[in-house]
Amino acid sequence: VVVVDVNADNGEATVDAMRTAGGAATFVRADVANTADVAAMAQTAMDTYGDIDILYNNAAVQLHFQDARAHELSEEIWDRTYGINIRGVWLCCKYVIPSMLRRGGGTIINVASPTGLFGLAPTYTAYSSSKGAVFALTRVMAVDYAPDKIRVNALVPGATETPLTKELFADQATRQSLLDATPLGRLGQAEDVVGLALFLAADDSAYCTGGIYTVDGGLTAV
């Protein structure tokens, strides 16, 4: 496994945990919005382990208190959000897919968000639309690369407690509104996402491509 993060401390900690559990892991520091970083990341992965069979696009940014309605949103926040949330996904695919083509197939999992499926106002213009773009990219790539035995799916966690959402969920009104909107009545944990991620990565999902798979406590069913 190659762990990629812009935060070296977080990335190294993840690698240490995986090695302690008996896995083989390598850390590469990279900004997924930076072409040179992504190209180097893909090359390091191939140099270390050979051709790549699974790509898990999980990097994202959610600038909760700087996102805004369209006419109030700054170009800086728009560009930063799209740079990571959609350009980053595309760049990782661009530099990893040639390796998958060489090996005769692979699977790509693009992590998206329920906010890309419905309008969440008034402060998610950049984030929601960037995640909607992830769905579109997932579908077109699924069709484009099906003949090459490369499967592409979107994994959609609901309101999940992670370092990215810590600041947002600290606001009790926001936290309660999410709890009220989630039929299972609780926020998700990273562990809730693992089973679906493993399914999409494994041969068990060999007939699945172009799909949008939610793990959201029923949020999008309401």
Whole-number mean pLDDT of the chain? 95
The confidence band for 171, taking pLDDT boundaries of 50, 70 and 90, is confident
Q: Looking at the DSSP assignment, which residues form a beta bridge with residue 2?
A: 26
Active centre residues (catalytic): 127
Measure Cα distances from 17 to 5, 11, 111 in Å. Answer: 15, 10, 22
pLDDT tens-digit series, residues 90-136: 999 999 999 999 999 999 999 999 999 987 666 789 999 999 999 99
**Residue 137: predicted pLDDT:** 99
Mean pLDDT value of segment 164-168: 79
Task: Give the per-residue pLDDT at 120.
Answer: 67
Q: What are phi and psi of 110, to 5 degrees?
A: -100, 115
Give the CA count within 13 Å in the CB-facing half-sphere of 70.
4
Question: In order of start, what are the domains of the chain with their CATH numbers?
Answer: 52-221 (3.40.50.720)
Query: Are the C-beta atoms of residues 46 and 35 closer than 8 Å to each other?
Result: no
Q: What was the pLDDT predicted at 174?
A: 85
DSSP summary character for residue 105? -
Residue pair 175/165 in contact by the 8 Å Cβ criterion: no
Lowest-confidence range among 32-41, 162-171, 196-205? 162-171
Residue 195, pLDDT score: 96
- pLDDT, average across residues 43-50: 98
Read off the pLDDT of each residue in 40-50 and give the average, rounded to a whole number.
Answer: 98
- Please name the residue that has the structure tokens 């083989």: 24
**Do 125 and 64 meet the contact criterion of CB atoms below 8 Å apart?**
no
Contact between 158 and 98 under an 8 Å Cβ cutoff? The reply is no
Structure tokens at 71: 């006419």
The pLDDT score that the predictor gives to residue 166 is: 81
My answer on whether omega of the bond before 122 falls inside 30° of 0, hence cis, is yes
Where do the H-state alpha helices sit in the chain? 8-20, 35-49, 75-82, 88-103, 125-145, 166-169, 172-181, 190-201
Q: How far is CA 4 from CA 51, 79, 106, 189, in A?
A: 16, 21, 19, 21
- What span, in angstroms and rounded, lies between the C-alpha atoms of 155 and 211? 8
Q: How many CA within 13 A on the CB side of residue 199?
A: 16
pTM of this structure: 0.94
Do residues 64 and 178 make contact, with C-beta atoms less than 8 angstroms apart?
no
**How distant, in Å, are the alpha carbons of 24, 65, 66 from that of 123?**
41, 8, 8
